[in-house]
Structure 1
């Protein structure tokens, strides 16, 4: 999950066969709405976390942890962020930019999607 990026629709397509097989084993109707499968238990859902949310959390964890620990991955991530800044032609960092203003300027990369 840390190195790839799938949209929520792609995750739903990937998990559809898994849920159709796993829900009946858990005693839940296989046609149960996905919104309720991913809803928290406190709201009467099944409490299965959506993989898209886990993917975003993993990306942010990588961006925060590796540069702070000065790992090789952190150096690569810093280079990616600097390349993104260079590509957009701005004088400030990726996370200081207004996404809707600069998203059209950058190519579709891991950093842009994160």
Structure 2
């Protein structure tokens, strides 16, 4: 699945994991998350999150800012440049969604998305 979406997103310069990360930060803009909070939202371990964040930080698509109450805590923010890149990538993502639904049918696509959502809620411990 990732390869399918990566192929569609390639023109935007993002990979599926990076797109998901930017989209999650966009949803959390009102209260930017800490690294731990973001890893929980993305159902991703912290080291993998760090690996995925580094190229986005280098490109200026995301930033780290000190927490207003505890300067030792850093919050991950979506930059203006990141918001623009996300908007560009969404066009490619929507085309991928349409192609996917066209290939497997809308009902199957919805069922598979729901099943994947259910899997992320499983307790891995």
What's the TM-score once normalised by structure 2's chain length? 0.24
What's the TM-score once normalised by structure 1's chain length? 0.26
Name the larger-Rg structure.
Answer: 1
Which structure is higher in strand share?
2
Higher RCO (C-alpha under 8 Å, 6+ residues apart): 2
